[in-house]
Amino acid sequence: MITKAKGTNDIFGLEGKKIRYVERVFENIMHKYNAEYIKTPIFESSELFHRGVGETTDIVSKETYDFKDRGNRSITLRPEGTAGIVRSFIENKMYVDNNLSKLWYFGPMFRYERPQAGRYREFYQAGIEIIGSNSPMADVEAISIMVDFFKQLGLKGIKVNINSLGDFESRSIYLDALKKHFKSDINNMCLDCQTRYEKNPLRILDCKVDHNRDIMKNAPKLIDYLNEFSKQHFDEVIINLNELNIDYVINEKLVRGLDYYTHTVFEIEASIKGFGSQNVLGGGGRYDNLIQNLSGPDTPAVGFALGIERLILALDYEKCEFNIKEGIDAYIFGIGNLGINKSLFIAKKLRDNNYSCEIDMFNKNIKANFKQADKYKAAYVIIIGEDEIKNDYLTIKNNRTKDEYHIESSQIIAFFKDTKKEIQND
């Protein structure tokens, strides 16, 4: 037997319904915020992620799925959505017609990580990129969309962490201070931190190995190094979050794992007791330099992405209800060739009128057909036997109350319209 690749999931049955439900809720929220759907390719040229996400990030240096295609091009399965969307924004010159593009997406991403509950090699993200505005209002909107989404799903145990990485100038001054701070002790720190010290010192603050050491705890804080412009931007984000009554925590250690961020960064975590270690449900931030770095016009942007599998784990953990429609409107079976043929015709009529139904394709006996109807959670069972054919009527059984009706075949849709009302008034 050939089995699925490590860290991937087959999504079907109830899990499939849950993911579709979450996507529907996300799409509704996106509509409210005037965002448009975008789907970019699942693979892109490797250079996009090297330049976009950053060579020194864990994602690009350790986790990408890279391969050469048959034309010897370097290709990478997308580890995240932002770089591809920015590429598309530039390539399609979206900036020509609109000064603000709000683009939402939902799809699989790929990272070669050590799989565990909530961490996979193929996983789904839902996200939005708000491109074109440098206003703190856009940062606040991104955060409030995330919060709205969780609220809509009924998830209560969440915590929003925010921080500011400042602009390029603030960050450069801070990085010097950070390097000075770690210089004397860097050789006693983990090998990853030693590399980060040279290539990307900010990421030292994210270290899971050394995080309890005093030198970490006493590290200078980026927030103390923000210049006037960066400070004002962050202050306005805070003021507006307060205005909207969005709860948040300023987490001075939050630096995020991708290189493109400037100013506001945020993460939303599940703060549910006993929930596993993969508790960061989503994250994002402002990335004012990325579009220019990828050879586009100087355009500010902010966005976020959520991990759908983790979100569903959290919803399950909190026993949130998924609004999933189960069952079908009717199960139809015919007896004899004429009955079977007519069941196809009745099914088509129902489906043409937006009712869901299934027909017996196995010529089962009556008992087996009723069992099947139960399995499909059919509201009604329609029986087309010899007498029904001869006198052009249908026998319909309410599968819950077991009430039985006999109606002319031509009245099938009228019957469903009436009884549907009945069911809703039940």
332 and 369 Cβ atoms separated by less than 8 Å: no
Residue 421 class from Cβ within 10 Å (0-12 exposed, 13-18 middle, 19+ buried)? exposed
* CB-nearer residue toward ligand HAM: 48 or 280: 280
DSSP secondary structure code for residue 116 in this structure: B
CA distance linking residue 118 with residue 308, whole number of Å? 9
On whether the CB atoms of residues 115 and 301 are closer than 8 A, the answer is no
CA dist., res. 39 & res. 104, Å (int): 8
Q: Nearest 5°: phi and psi at 94?
A: -65, -20
Residue number, nearest CB to ligand HAM:
307
Give least dist CB 225 to ligand HAM, A: 22
Minimum distance from CB of 297 to ligand HAM (Å)? 18
Instruction: For ligand HAM, give the closer residue by CB, 202 or 306.
Output: 306
Q: Kindly give, in sequence order, each residue whose CB lies less than 8 Å from that of residue 377, ignoring residues fewer than 6 positions away.
A: 326, 327, 328
Give me the least distance between CB of 163 and ligand HAM, in Å please: 14
116: burial class by Cβ within 10 Å (0-12, 13-18, 19+)?
Answer: exposed
Contact residues toward ligand HAM (CB under 6 A) are: 80-82, 111, 113, 119-120, 123, 125, 127, 129, 257-258, 280-285, 287, 303-307, 309-310
Nearer to ligand HAM, 128 or 346 (CB): 128
Residues 6+ apart with CB under 8 A from 260: 52, 53, 54, 82, 287, 289, 290, 293
For ligand HAM, the closer of residues 18 and 310 by Cβ is 310
For strand 36-37 and strand 101-110, is the pairing parallel, antiparallel, or unpaired?
parallel
**Residue among 138 and 219 whose Cβ is closer to ligand HAM:** 138
Beta carbon of residue 251, minimum distance to ligand HAM (angstroms, whole number)? 14
Residue number, 53 or 384, with CB nearest to ligand HAM:
53
Q: Closest separation between CB of residue 65 and ligand HAM, Å? A: 12
Closer Cβ to ligand HAM, 230 or 343, answer by number: 230
Do residues 140 and 297 lie in contact, with contact meaning Cβ atoms separated by under 8 Å? no
CB of 43: closest distance to ligand HAM in angstroms? 16
**Closest to 258 (Cα-Cα) out of 149, 111, 68, 38:** 111
CB of 334 to ligand HAM, least distance (A): 47
